[in-house]
Amino acid sequence: MRSKKFILLIILLLIVISQLPFAYRRYKLSRLSAAIQQLNSQRKTPEQQSGFVEYKGVVHVHSFLGGHSSGTFAEIISAAQANQLQFVIMTEHTEKDFDTAAMTLSGMHGGVLFINGNEVSAANGDRLLVLPDKVSIAAYPQEFKSWDTTNLNGVEVYNVFTNAKQINPVVAFFDVLWSQRRYPELIFALYLDRPNENLRKWDQALERSRLTATAGNDAHANVGVSLKDSSGKTLLGIQLDPYATSFRLVRLHALIEQNRSFDAASLLEAVRAGHCFIGFDFLGDSSGFSFEAENGSERKIQGDEISLKPDTRLRVQTPMPSRIVVLKDGVTYTMESGVSAREFPIIERGIYRVEVYLPQLGEIVGGKPWIISNPIYVR
């Protein structure tokens, strides 16, 4: 009897010891949460980019249409409203017998603009996000092959699902047990990675053509465990990726000319032109970020082209002090730390873009990007 109690005691001790790392990770998330709140309290919105209005939303969202998800339209609309989004770009999986793009959310619903599109698989395995007005975005660029196509408008340089696939499921299971209720979106901070390979492929593709960088929430609301009755009503369960959480992780911020109405046409035009940037807004609201170029006679924003002249300079503004990294042709050109506004003189032609980091948030995310801009082309 004593030996059995001793063995049981050892097992319990091992279980306790095995959980210490996850308890410590929860503690680190509590520290990160406090740091984010403190940082957001110091946030200052930069002046609006001249002539443009900023709108934030999400791209790459699936519903019950096309399988892979049981998410309803009502859930998606509610999640968009809860996150104060202005737009959601739907990308339903295709079906042989009916047009899922035509059947999904489109137009204004609950004060949110919805654009209907499809995620399409090509014969060679390439996957594209196909949107109205012939806007086509390469999804999962790490697997994409047809970079020479002339019909491509953008690249999904970051995808939440792709990032999540790299997570050890056992580690994730215990992280969820310890932290999901208190820090549902911050759990993702433990696994956030800079998409090095996707950014490299995008930088290479920019040498041949102008392609807009987007981020994919790839929201399905299909991860979790649940018990349902015969009518489909959930009796008991846990949902790990509800739309409300997915929509907080990463967003696309689009810049639309002040004299244009906010509608599907103007939004898609902004995306096609590269007048947008990626913000990992669960680390802090990136609204107000500005990346412009001037040369004395022209003033351009990200996505635009500007002529190289003796006084050409780039101007970057962020809502809070950060580390600003300027890249030229995919290679670090210059950087500044602890600043919220900086001008950089430009003496060479090239493709310039910006990444912004928040090192003050600490080891978990301090070295991970907060903002990824689209390029300005200096010719």
> What pLDDT score does 101 carry?
95
Q: Each residue's pLDDT tens digit in the chain (379 positions)?
A: 677 887 888 888 888 888 888 898 899 999 999 999 988 888 887 666 678 999 999 999 999 997 778 889 999 999 999 999 999 999 999 998 899 999 999 999 999 999 999 999 998 999 999 999 999 999 999 999 999 888 899 999 999 988 877 778 788 888 888 888 888 888 889 889 999 999 999 999 999 999 999 999 999 876 554 444 555 555 444 556 789 999 999 999 999 999 999 999 999 999 999 999 999 999 999 999 999 999 989 999 999 999 999 999 999 999 999 999 999 999 999 999 999 999 999 999 999 999 999 999 998 999 999 999 999 999 9
Instruction: Answer whether residue 4 is part of any domain.
Output: no
Tokens of 78: 């509610």
Count the domains in the chain.
1
- Contact between 137 and 154 (Cβ < 8 Å): yes
Is the Cβ–Cβ distance between 369 and 158 less than 8 Å?
Answer: no
12 in any annotated domain = no
Beta strands in 17-134, from DSSP E residues, in sequence order: 52-61, 87-90, 92-93, 107-109, 112-115, 118-121, 127-131
For residues 22 and 282, give the distance between their C-alpha atoms in angstroms, rounded to a whole number: 21
Residue 228 belongs to a domain: yes
- The parent domain of residue 247 ranges over 18-378
What is the reported pLDDT for 73?
96
1 is a domain residue: no
- Alpha-carbon span 342 to 324, nearest angstrom: 9
What is the model's pLDDT at position 320?
A: 94
Helix (H) or strand (E) holding 205: helix 196-206
Instruction: Look up residue 29 and give its two tokens.
Output: 């998330």
Answer yes or no: is 252 within a domain. Answer: yes
Contact 70, 44 (CB under 8 A): no
What is the sign of the dihedral through the CA atoms of 348, 349, 351 and 354? positive
AA identity, residue 209? S
Residue 3 lies in a domain: no
DSSP structural state of residue 69 = -
pLDDT score of 236:
44
Residue 151 domain-assigned (yes or no): yes
Structural domain includes residue 8: no
- DSSP-assigned letters across all residues of 167-201: S-HHHHHHHHHHHTTT-TTGGGGGT----HHHHHH
